[in-house]
Amino acid sequence: MSANAALIKEFEAILGKDNVFTEESDLYSYSYDGAVLDNQSPAIVLRPTNSEALGKAVALCNENAIKITVRGAGTNLTGGTIPHPGGAVILTNALNQILEINEQDLYARVQPGVVTAQFAAEVASRGLFYPPDPGSMAVSTIGGNVAENAGGLRGLKYGVTKDYVMGVDFFDVNGELIKSGSRTVKCATGYNLTGLMVASEGTLGVFETITLKLVPPVPAAKSMMAVFPSMNAAADTVAAIIAAKIVPATLELMDNFTIRTVENFRKAGLPTDAEALLLIEVDGHPAQVEEDAAKVEDICKQNKAASVTVAEDATQRDAVWQARRDALPALANLKPTCVLEDATVPRSKIPAMIDVLGQISKKYDLTIGTFGHAGDGNLHPTILTDKRDKDEWGRVEKAIDEIFDKALGMGGTLSGEHGIGMAKSKYMVNETTRGTLEYSRRMKSVLDPKGILNPGKIIGW
Amino acid sequence: MSANAALIKEFEAILGKDNVFTEESDLYSYSYDGAVLDNQSPAIVLRPTNSEALGKAVALCNENAIKITVRGAGTNLTGGTIPHPGGAVILTNALNQILEINEQDLYARVQPGVVTAQFAAEVASRGLFYPPDPGSMAVSTIGGNVAENAGGLRGLKYGVTKDYVMGVDFFDVNGELIKSGSRTVKCATGYNLTGLMVASEGTLGVFETITLKLVPPVPAAKSMMAVFPSMNAAADTVAAIIAAKIVPATLELMDNFTIRTVENFRKAGLPTDAEALLLIEVDGHPAQVEEDAAKVEDICKQNKAASVTVAEDATQRDAVWQARRDALPALANLKPTCVLEDATVPRSKIPAMIDVLGQISKKYDLTIGTFGHAGDGNLHPTILTDKRDKDEWGRVEKAIDEIFDKALGMGGTLSGEHGIGMAKSKYMVNETTRGTLEYSRRMKSVLDPKGILNPGKIIGW
């Protein structure tokens, strides 16, 4: 798009003069996201402040074949919010109203720009619970979470964003409002367009209102930290906990490199000589919590845990989870470039995947810190590097290829929770089939004939 | 299709001579399903015995523009398995293998023709739990359940079929195998085609393998029956239980007419003078079950329950649920035609919906028995009539229109669990928008250009 004056005026008429940006500095601000990919500058940035303006802006973009990338907080790790060069970025940060929290019927209706943590806090203040807790929830938006099917620490027991989306109303490329889903917990009406919108990364429609399922709060919880002399012992413990039919709310793993890095980042008294840590929380009825905690402690010890420390109060519990939350920022601090992957395997394959990551780290002479959601097979191998070092970057790319290869070989998937975006679309055919890509592309081509909705993501065009 | 000899020979070459049926009696057998709609005879019935044959049969149908209706057990209540006149019916009853039950990773892979209850029993024998329990599960198939997003009694706490489908591999119209979803609990890879297949009623693809999520079994449960002097008192109790943040596994309602009919059907000692019954089961950790049961009993009594009987053993528990399972067959016995609806409202609207059903019953002078899943707002008003009585049938059709109208007016949905099929496609636009139908039709038109996949369902063509 050339940001020609007449068109800019049209956008200003729809959105107001203050909500159309074309200054170089604005364009630069929205040219990248959380992924390790090259910047691409949009030609214009649009900030609708109400649904009507959003729909009209989408329609105007389509009329003029301007490519749209909708952006929440831009925390995306696979380039899902990197705009098309010369396209438009639509910001959702002025579409940030919680429209309704219905305490009788256990649902909420929100605009896409509502910040996840603020929403979760508001829900909690009404005595209810919104379980999805992606790592970026302090700043990420519900719209972004739905577009990416964001996961989080509680995925093991409570599922991911997908499991809480009851309905999505969205604009098609013509600015027509499409309604899907319901405020009822059961709905078998029409195509499951709500399900289709989840994880579609902004390529099939522009979200207007999202209806989310809420659940009653959890009455009790207990957190603990178990220290292991080897990654394998920790990985075996994870499998043994699941085999015992205990479903912890969270079951997180950290390797020695991550432990040392976190301790260096914030002196929290982590055991820096431990080869692996498991951070575990069980929740539910107080009696169940007591029993599960005792069983988990036993299982840890049977699997060679050197120690198991149970958090005795809220302060100690917060310390456990602060350590986990510190993992990514601490690792990211070490080197100029931090590649956070989320290849995911069936949980029984965690020990094998841990072995593979160790081998890959050696083979390509790379620093890989590994932490993540071991309970659901969703590890985050994190490669610390410097993209400007061409030789090392070449090895990083080979290592990533091999990580995906091995994960798929174990019956795993390319992405547990970060999505495909631009970073992984080339691998899609390895997990699915050529026919699967063609089916997806046929669908996209008819729903977005001019290809304006977040091009280049998922299916490669 | 005219079932010409050459084409029949081609089908026989793919499927084997014994698996291609064109006799009048065979065609008649597959011309109807559980819905109150006119029969439509197919020209040919195909019974693939393996995946490869299934894919080839689909491709051959597409080449010859033969319209396909895939049929599991044909228990569908909205005409979803009524074939196109002169089309093909594909039976899944020879695609009935449980391919894998993975106890470590808590998933199963099945062919579409596996019978739901047999699958649930096999899963239970491995010490795991598959929660969805549609009313027809004794004969219904997993493929049918997924195509319809079947619900059941446990929807309130455990969700519906949708919530347990991790992956669907399916054939597109060209017989290409499309892979979606994963064996991992977290998956953000590509379009959520798995979600799209759920509830698509056989109109977008033909299922090959379904991957289902399993969960640990529930350690304890307690069932009870509460007798109420009025429907309103029972409905208020439902709202009060949810407001107390208790989530029973099942929370079922029966009106006086249904109670009397069930008691007449099987002498089980039901209180025939009760205006309403609630059948409630709470489950979970034994301590939680004790507490929840006591709270539920209190709430019932505070809301004017005349009595609350807690099942003391398995025999008494079975008696409670047998009474509930008897509701539909008992009602269906009374008159030649039984129209079972599933309009669903947000649960707080149950009292209002009960009022509306009473008014409609009077206004149109019809016998309506009401029972159903009160806990999730999914009632089953059941109209007992005789379709040959033209005058009465005219009033039935008006009553059904009004039931949907009122349910939508309360923020409800056309279908909680029976799907849209042929019976409700004319109402779709009332719940959504014209644009929503167009979006759906565009998608269907490109994925199935010749319109061979179960035409006439959901979107009306």
Asked if the model's pLDDT at residue B19 lies above 70, the reply is: yes
How many Cα atoms are found within 13 Å in the side-chain-facing hemisphere of A310?
14
How many Cα atoms are found within 13 Å in the side-chain-facing hemisphere of B288?
26
Running DSSP on this structure, what letter comes out for residue A413? B
The alpha carbon dihedral of A415, A421, A427, A432 has a sign of positive
Chain B residues near residue A179 by CB distance under 8 angstroms: 431-433, 436
- Alpha-carbon distance of A239 to B179, in angstroms, equals 27
Judged by CB atoms closer than 8 Å, whether chains meet at A179 and B436 is answered as yes
∠ at Cα A79 (A76, A83), nearest 5°?
110
The residue in chain A having the minimum alpha-carbon distance to the alpha carbon of residue B349 is A105
Q: Which residues contact A315 (CB under 8 A, 6 or more apart)?
A: none
**What Cα–Cα distance (Å) separates residue B439 from each residue in A166, A220, B50, B190, B413?**
19, 45, 34, 20, 19
Q: How distant is the alpha carbon of residue A171 from its chain centre?
A: 23
> Do residue A355 and residue A273 come from a single domain?
no
Contact assessment for residue B214 and residue B260, using Cβ atoms and an 8 Å cutoff: no
Contact assessment for residue B117 and residue B170, using Cβ atoms and an 8 Å cutoff: no
- The shortest CB-CB distance from B191 to any of A417, A438, A458 is to A458
A335-349: pLDDT as tens digits: 999 999 999 999 889
Asked if the model's pLDDT at residue B58 lies above 60, the reply is: yes
Judged by CB atoms closer than 8 Å, whether chains meet at A199 and B191 is answered as yes
- Alpha-carbon distance of B327 to B325, in angstroms, equals 5
What the block records as the tokens of B41 is 């005879």
A385-400: pLDDT as tens digits: 999 999 999 999 999 9
Asked if the model's pLDDT at residue A2 lies above 60, the reply is: no
Looking at residue A274, its pLDDT comes to 95
Judged by CB atoms closer than 8 Å, whether chains meet at B185 and A155 is answered as yes
- The shortest CB-CB distance from A287 to any of B216, B285, B440 is to B285
Asked if the model's pLDDT at residue A293 lies above 60, the reply is: yes
- The shortest CB-CB distance from B186 to any of A155, A191, A428 is to A155
Looking at residue A333, its pLDDT comes to 92
Distance from CA of B294 to the nearest CA of A (A): 15
Contact assessment for residue B107 and residue B166, using Cβ atoms and an 8 Å cutoff: yes
Chain A, chain B: beta-carbon pairs less than 8 Å apart: 297
Asked if the model's pLDDT at residue B458 lies above 90, the reply is: yes
> Do residue A348 and residue A439 come from a single domain?
yes
Chain B residues near residue A348 by CB distance under 8 angstroms: 102, 104-105
Say which CATH number the domain at A79 has: 3.30.43.10
Contact assessment for residue A257 and residue A302, using Cβ atoms and an 8 Å cutoff: no
Judged by CB atoms closer than 8 Å, whether chains meet at A346 and B247 is answered as no
> Do residue A22 and residue A79 come from a single domain?
yes
> Do residue B345 and residue B328 come from a single domain?
no
* Percent of chain A whose pLDDT exceeds 70: 99
What the block records as the tokens of B352 is 């209002």
- The shortest CB-CB distance from A188 to any of B159, B196, B416 is to B416
Distance from CA of B85 to the nearest CA of A (A): 23
> Do residue B302 and residue B351 come from a single domain?
no
Looking at residue B320, its pLDDT comes to 86
Report ipTM (2 d.p.): 0.96
Chain A residues near residue B176 by CB distance under 8 angstroms: 433, 435, 438-439
What the block records as the tokens of B157 is 């706490």
A252-273: pLDDT as tens digits: 999 999 999 999 999 888 999 9
**What Cα–Cα distance (Å) separates residue A361 from each residue in A44, A342, A354, A395?**
42, 16, 11, 10
The residue in chain B having the minimum alpha-carbon distance to the alpha carbon of residue A195 is B195
- Select from A281, A290, A230 the least CA-distant residue to A255: A230
How many structural domains is chain A composed of? 4
- Alpha-carbon distance of A27 to B365, in angstroms, equals 67
A404-413: pLDDT as tens digits: 999 999 999 9
> Do residue A129 and residue A195 come from a single domain?
yes
- Alpha-carbon distance of B193 to B196, in angstroms, equals 5
Looking at residue B295, its pLDDT comes to 98
How many residues are recorded in chain A? 461
How many residues are recorded in chain B? 461
∠ at Cα A422 (A417, A424), nearest 5°?
60
Chain B residues near residue A244 by CB distance under 8 angstroms: none
φ, ψ of residue B44 to 5 degrees: the values are -155, 145
Q: Which residues contact A89 (CB under 8 A, 6 or more apart)?
A: A30, A42, A44, A45, A46, A68, A69, A70, A71, A83
Say which CATH number the domain at B339 has: 3.30.70.2740
Distance from CA of B426 to the nearest CA of A (A): 11
> Of A188, A213, A238, which residue constitutes the final position of a domain?
A213
Chain A residues near residue B174 by CB distance under 8 angstroms: 435
A104-137: pLDDT as tens digits: 999 999 999 999 999 999 999 999 999 999 999 9
Asked if the model's pLDDT at residue B2 lies above 60, the reply is: no
CA dihedral A402, A404, A410, A415 (to 10 degrees): 160
φ, ψ of residue B274 to 5 degrees: the values are -70, 140
Chain B residues near residue A183 by CB distance under 8 angstroms: 346, 411-412
Helix (H) or strand (E) holding A371: strand A367-373
Distance from CA of B183 to the nearest CA of A (A): 6
Helices B350-363 & B390-409 angle (0-180, nearest 10): 160
Say which CATH number the domain at B285 has: 3.30.70.2190
Segment B30-49 shows an average pLDDT of: 96
The residue in chain B having the minimum alpha-carbon distance to the alpha carbon of residue A417 is B188
Which band of pLDDT confidence, cut at 50, 70 and 90, is reported for residue A3? low
Contact assessment for residue B234 and residue B312, using Cβ atoms and an 8 Å cutoff: no
What the block records as the tokens of A413 is 């998937």
Looking at residue A35, its pLDDT comes to 94
* Percent of chain B whose pLDDT exceeds 70: 99
Query: Most B CBs within 10 Å: which of A104, A107, A178, A186, as the mutation test of the B interface?
Result: A186
What the block records as the tokens of B192 is 């959520």
Running DSSP on this structure, what letter comes out for residue A198? T
Note the maximum CA span of chain A. Answer: 72
> Do residue A208 and residue A226 come from a single domain?
no
Chain B residues near residue A413 by CB distance under 8 angstroms: 182, 184, 186-187, 189
Segment B397-423 shows an average pLDDT of: 96
- Alpha-carbon distance of A153 to B284, in angstroms, equals 23
φ, ψ of residue B260 to 5 degrees: the values are -65, -40
Coil, strand or helix at B282: strand
- Select from A218, A308, A320 the least CA-distant residue to A266: A320
Asked if the model's pLDDT at residue B1 lies above 80, the reply is: no
A67: burial class by Cβ within 10 Å (0-12, 13-18, 19+)? buried
φ, ψ of residue B218 to 5 degrees: the values are -85, 130
- Alpha-carbon distance of A249 to A375, in angstroms, equals 9
Helix ranges (DSSP H) in A201-345: 231-243, 256-265, 286-302, 314-332
> Do residue A454 and residue A339 come from a single domain?
yes
> Do residue A43 and residue A80 come from a single domain?
yes
> Do residue B137 and residue B173 come from a single domain?
yes
- Select from B378, B304, B356, B357 the least CA-distant residue to B150: B378
- Please spell the DSSP secondary structure of B228-278, one letter per residue: ESSHHHHHHHHHHHHHTT---SEEEEEEHHHHHHHHHHS-----TT-SEEE
Contact assessment for residue A438 and residue B213, using Cβ atoms and an 8 Å cutoff: no
B6: burial class by Cβ within 10 Å (0-12, 13-18, 19+)? exposed
Which range, of A22-26, A37-41, B240-244, averages the lowest pLDDT? B240-244
Q: Which residues contact A274 (CB under 8 A, 6 or more apart)?
A: A227, A228, A229, A256, A259, A306
> Of B334, B356, B379, which residue constitutes the final position of a domain?
B334
| β-strands A220-228, A307-310 pairing | antiparallel
- Alpha-carbon distance of B391 to B375, in angstroms, equals 35
Model-level pTM?
0.97
Q: Which residue has the tokens 């910040």?
A: A115
| β-strands B337-340, B276-284 pairing | unpaired
- The shortest CB-CB distance from B195 to any of A195, A438, A458 is to A195
> Of B196, B213, B230, which residue constitutes the final position of a domain?
B213
> Do residue A251 and residue A323 come from a single domain?
yes
- Please spell the DSSP secondary structure of B327-391, one letter per residue: HHHHHHHHSSEEEE---B--GGGHHHHHHHHHHHHHHTT-EEEEEEEGGGTEEEEEEEE-TT-HH
Chain A residues near residue B285 by CB distance under 8 angstroms: 284-285, 287-288, 291
Domain limits for position B82: 5-91
Distance from CA of B416 to the nearest CA of A (A): 4
> Do residue A44 and residue A134 come from a single domain?
no
Which band of pLDDT confidence, cut at 50, 70 and 90, is reported for residue B3? low
What the block records as the tokens of A283 is 């929740």
Judged by CB atoms closer than 8 Å, whether chains meet at A432 and B156 is answered as no
Helix ranges (DSSP H) in A385-448: 390-409, 428-431, 434-447
A404-445: pLDDT as tens digits: 999 999 999 999 999 999 999 999 999 999 999 999 999 999
Which band of pLDDT confidence, cut at 50, 70 and 90, is reported for residue A250? very high
